[in-house]
Amino acid sequence: MDMQPIAAREGNHNLKDYEKARQSFDWEDVKKEFSWYETGKVNAAYETIDRHAENPAKKDQTALIYSSPDREETLTFHELKTMSNKFANVLKKHHVQKGDRVFLFMPRSPEFYASFFGILKVGAIAGPLFEAFMEQAVRDRLDDSGASMLITTPELLERVPQEELPELKKIVLVGFNEESDERYIDYFHEMEQASEEFEIEWVDLEDGMLLHYTSGSTGKPKGVYHVHNAMIQHYATGNWVLDLKEDDIYWCTADPGWVTGTSYGIFAPWLNGVTNVIRGGRFTADSWYETIAKNNVTVWYTAPTALRKLVSAGEQTAKKYDLSSLRHVLSVGEPLNPEVITWGVKAFDLRIHDTWWMTETGAMLIVNLPDMDIRPGSMGKPIPGVEAAIIDNEGNELPPNQMGNLAIKQGWPSMMRAIWQNPGKYESYFINGWYVSGDSAYKDEDGYFWFQGRLDDVINTSGERVGPFEVESKLIEHPAVSEAGVIGKPDPERGEIIKAFITLNEGYEASDELVEDIRKFVKTGLSAHAAPREIEVKDTIPKTRSGKIMRRLLKSWELGLPTGDTSTLEE
Ligand code: WT7
């Protein structure tokens, strides 16, 4: 779809002259804005929370406005500092040390954020897990990371297969706890007794801070390892791209189980000292508009899948609410349809700014800045300090308008530093000094990047990344399923839905009941978002001679496309 560019609006934007900023840019200048640049004392929790709590002018500012269907609460920077100090003391009492992996498996809540910063304050590595994960997903991640401690709720505890996790020594329960085993720690009880004073564990910029598990096209989910140094880019992009000012009321809709919910739900907003709205509970168009109207949200970071649902709810739903507080709206996670941008101009009288990045990149890389013309359908241009290009499979740069691998020149601050215990996997991301994203794209003559699709079999459903292997593995655990091949099928609202092709074991007949049972099996065993919406029973699944499922062929069949090269197909 060819559309007219949408010009930037007048405004007091933090980053004004993009071209000039790029030319004279030096990450060293951004570093100077952190207290550690002078003191040498590094810890992202300090920069994010305590620094404001120690500033008399800011300590009583509301840092967090929390609301869920059954709870509302606010915390100041001072209160968040105190709570996280207390939790750091609890961790210390239970012998958590620098470098230990401490996982969080619970819904968004004030306790989540206090625990998260407590973990960083003792120098441990935080591993947030999405609350909808079921047993298999939880086990794979805790097992791979060797987590020694988990913070969860009594309700979610039943999804934690403790007997299979020998390295998991302690479990902190947030909520009523009837367990008496010494493995369990009662959050509220221990917090009551803990001191409010804590001496932060100062770390190195290259020390571990976060593990986020994400999916590739093969194998189990992998642990993407981020270090404290990432805060430099969280801060800078919060300033340039989110355009945050200290009196902003900011809302990022992502769950901290995904990287958007940490980089832009925690670090970027609070490094920039704004009031951060956190909303739990399920999505409805009305509840989302209400969140904006009630809290006077000024900057809003969300995802195409949510925006498309708002479009479906119609302009009349938007018109019921006073959304005039909104100044700046942004999107991430999947292609932002030009139609949605057009609708945004009508519904909010604002442009929606697309941003592109990945779990592995730790922060935004290609963006639409508030001061830049938007070309609807384009992800924008690389931020200052980042070089992006389209390369071929040998790592050579391609000229404008040619499609290829979207790649980033190594060396930006928030880049992952490892795949947890898998150096080979980490190495496989790089060629000739370029980080290869796995996305295909092209760059136009003016330097705007245009997303074309994934080059591998990774599925993007409602903005959530799902590895087909993980779903296939779960499917074949069902007694009726012999083989499984899983693909992403285009869907107007969700981007893609998960479609599974299966063959049945002898003695099983295809039926609606069986298919539903198999779907439920994945939903309750792995997670709801990974459960196939469509399951088709086949006589055979196409495989290569070496036994690999040919997902590409399944996809071509599904979409009625030419099947291409099938020379490796098994007889
Ligand atoms: C993949 C990364 C960290 C951001 C949230 C998702 C897709 C991301 C866009 C965009 C088109 C996008 C890519 C990317 N993606 N942003 N603006 N336009 N596609 O992080 O789960 O690690 O997924 O999401 O395919 O590789 P993620």
Identify which of 442, 435, 401, 405 has the alpha carbon closest to the alpha carbon of residue 419.
Answer: 435
Q: Report the separation in Å between the CA atom of 340 and the middle of ligand 1, taken as the mean of its atom positions.
A: 17
pLDDT at residue 571, rounded to an integer = 52
Specify the residue for token string 């004392």.
41
Indicate if ligand 1 lies below 6 Å from the C-beta of 437: yes
- Secondary structure letter of residue 542 according to DSSP: -
Q: Report the separation in Å between the CA atom of 308 and the middle of ligand 1, taken as the mean of its atom positions.
A: 16
Q: Give the residue, by CA position, lying nearest to ligand 1 atom 24.
A: 333
Could you give the 3-state DSSP secondary structure of residue 22? helix
pLDDT at position 43 over 70? yes
CA distance readout (Å), 283 to 255, 265, 280, 291, 544: 12, 17, 9, 11, 42
Whole-model pTM: value is: 0.94
Question: Which of 70-84, 213-227, 554-568 bottoms out in mean pLDDT, i.e. has the lowest?
Answer: 554-568
pLDDT band of residue 543 (cuts 50, 70, 90) is confident
> In angstroms, rounded to a whole number, what is the distance separating the alpha carbons of residues 142 and 285?
34
Identify which of 539, 543, 537 has the alpha carbon closest to the alpha carbon of residue 571.
Answer: 543
Question: Which of 374-383, 393-402, 557-566 bottoms out in mean pLDDT, i.e. has the lowest?
Answer: 557-566
pLDDT at residue 545, rounded to an integer = 78
Letter for the amino acid at 10?
A: E
> In angstroms, rounded to a whole number, what is the distance separating the alpha carbons of residues 224 and 213?
6
pLDDT at residue 2, rounded to an integer = 58
Identify which of 476, 520, 524 has the alpha carbon closest to the alpha carbon of residue 501.
Answer: 476
pLDDT at position 1 over 60? no
pLDDT at residue 398, rounded to an integer = 98
Q: Report the separation in Å between the CA atom of 267 and the middle of ligand 1, taken as the mean of its atom positions.
A: 19
Indicate if ligand 1 lies below 6 Å from the C-beta of 305: no
Residues 199-217: tens digit of each pLDDT? 999 999 999 999 999 988 7
pLDDT at residue 562, rounded to an integer = 80
Indicate if ligand 1 lies below 6 Å from the C-beta of 465: yes
Mean local confidence (pLDDT), 501-530: 96
Q: Report the separation in Å between the CA atom of 460 and the middle of ligand 1, taken as the mean of its atom positions.
A: 8
Q: Report the separation in Å between the CA atom of 359 and the middle of ligand 1, taken as the mean of its atom positions.
A: 8
pLDDT at residue 91, rounded to an integer = 98
Residues 303-321: tens digit of each pLDDT? 999 999 999 999 899 999 9
- Pocket test of ligand 1: the residue of 253, 356, 466 to mutate, having most ligand atoms within 8 Å of its CB, is 356
pLDDT band of residue 3 (cuts 50, 70, 90) is confident
Residues 368-386: tens digit of each pLDDT? 999 999 999 999 999 999 9
Do 328 and 372 meet the contact criterion of CB atoms below 8 Å apart?
A: no
Q: Report the separation in Å between the CA atom of 118 and the middle of ligand 1, taken as the mean of its atom positions.
A: 29
Mean local confidence (pLDDT), 45-62: 98
Indicate if ligand 1 lies below 6 Å from the C-beta of 473: no
Q: Report the separation in Å between the CA atom of 357 and the middle of ligand 1, taken as the mean of its atom positions.
A: 6
Do 91 and 171 meet the contact criterion of CB atoms below 8 Å apart?
A: no
pLDDT at residue 332, rounded to an integer = 97
Tell me, rounded to whole angstroms, the distance of Cα 222 from its chain centroid.
14
Specify the residue for token string 């009523």.
176
Radius of gyration for the chain, computed over Cα atoms and rounded to the nearest angstrom: 24
Indicate if ligand 1 lies below 6 Å from the C-beta of 450: no
Specify the residue for token string 């120690």.
54
pLDDT at position 429 over 90? yes
Q: Report the separation in Å between the CA atom of 262 and the middle of ligand 1, taken as the mean of its atom positions.
A: 15
The ligand 1 atom nearest the CA atom of 458: 25
Average pLDDT score, the chain? 95
Question: What would the DSSP string read from start to end of 335-386?
Answer: ---HHHHHHHHHHHSS-EEEEE--TTT-S--EE--TTS-B-TT--BEEPTT-
pLDDT at residue 181, rounded to an integer = 83
pLDDT band of residue 129 (cuts 50, 70, 90) is very high
Indicate if ligand 1 lies below 6 Å from the C-beta of 255: no
Residues 139-183: tens digit of each pLDDT? 999 999 999 999 999 999 999 999 999 999 999 999 977 767 889
Identify which of 114, 103, 105 has the alpha carbon closest to the alpha carbon of residue 66.
Answer: 114
pLDDT at residue 548, rounded to an integer = 83
Question: Which of 48-52, 270-274, 448-452, 563-567 bottoms out in mean pLDDT, i.e. has the lowest?
Answer: 563-567
Q: Report the separation in Å between the CA atom of 93 and the middle of ligand 1, taken as the mean of its atom positions.
A: 39
β-strands 125-129, 101-105 pairing = parallel
pLDDT at position 570 over 80? no
CA distance readout (Å), 367 to 27, 73, 109, 385: 18, 33, 30, 13
The ligand 1 atom nearest the CA atom of 260: 3
Q: Give the residue, by CA position, lying nearest to ligand 1 atom 20.
A: 358
Q: Report the separation in Å between the CA atom of 463 and the middle of ligand 1, taken as the mean of its atom positions.
A: 7
β-strands 101-105, 381-382 pairing = unpaired
Do 470 and 340 meet the contact criterion of CB atoms below 8 Å apart?
A: no
C-alpha torsion angle, residues 23, 24, 29, 33 (rounded to 10): -70
Q: Report the separation in Å between the CA atom of 40 and the middle of ligand 1, taken as the mean of its atom positions.
A: 34
Do 188 and 110 meet the contact criterion of CB atoms below 8 Å apart?
A: no
- Pocket test of ligand 1: the residue of 358, 405, 455, 462 to mutate, having most ligand atoms within 8 Å of its CB, is 358
Do 233 and 363 meet the contact criterion of CB atoms below 8 Å apart?
A: yes
The ligand 1 atom nearest the CA atom of 463: 6
Residue 295, number of CB atoms within 10 A of its CB: 17
Q: Report the separation in Å between the CA atom of 401 and the middle of ligand 1, taken as the mean of its atom positions.
A: 21
Residues 335-366: tens digit of each pLDDT? 999 999 999 999 999 999 999 999 999 999 99
Higher-pLDDT residue of 569 and 189 is: 189
Indicate if ligand 1 lies below 6 Å from the C-beta of 263: no
Q: Give the residue, by CA position, lying nearest to ligand 1 atom 6.
A: 333
Indicate if ligand 1 lies below 6 Å from the C-beta of 264: no
Higher-pLDDT residue of 259 and 571 is: 259
What is the Cβ-side half-sphere exposure of residue 483, based on CA atoms within 13 angstroms? Answer: 13
Indicate if ligand 1 lies below 6 Å from the C-beta of 529: no
Q: Report the separation in Å between the CA atom of 209 and the middle of ligand 1, taken as the mean of its atom positions.
A: 22
Identify which of 165, 363, 373, 409 has the alpha carbon closest to the alpha carbon of residue 271.
Answer: 363
pLDDT at residue 565, rounded to an integer = 67
Indicate if ligand 1 lies below 6 Å from the C-beta of 212: no
CA distance readout (Å), 70 to 83, 236, 281, 295, 387: 21, 35, 9, 17, 46
Do 121 and 200 meet the contact criterion of CB atoms below 8 Å apart?
A: yes
> In angstroms, rounded to a whole number, what is the distance separating the alpha carbons of residues 518 and 501?
12
Do 272 and 239 meet the contact criterion of CB atoms below 8 Å apart?
A: yes
Residue 333 zone, left/alpha/beta (φ > 0; ψ -120 to 50; rest)? left
pLDDT band of residue 561 (cuts 50, 70, 90) is confident
Mean local confidence (pLDDT), 410-423: 98
> In angstroms, rounded to a whole number, what is the distance separating the alpha carbons of residues 378 and 5?
10
The ligand 1 atom nearest the CA atom of 258: 21
Mean local confidence (pLDDT), 474-488: 95
Indicate if ligand 1 lies below 6 Å from the C-beta of 460: yes
Q: Report the separation in Å between the CA atom of 2 and the middle of ligand 1, taken as the mean of its atom positions.
A: 23
pLDDT at residue 189, rounded to an integer = 94
Indicate if ligand 1 lies below 6 Å from the C-beta of 260: yes
Indicate if ligand 1 lies below 6 Å from the C-beta of 358: yes
Indicate if ligand 1 lies below 6 Å from the C-beta of 527: no
pLDDT at residue 218, rounded to an integer = 80
Q: Give the residue, by CA position, lying nearest to ligand 1 atom 19.
A: 334
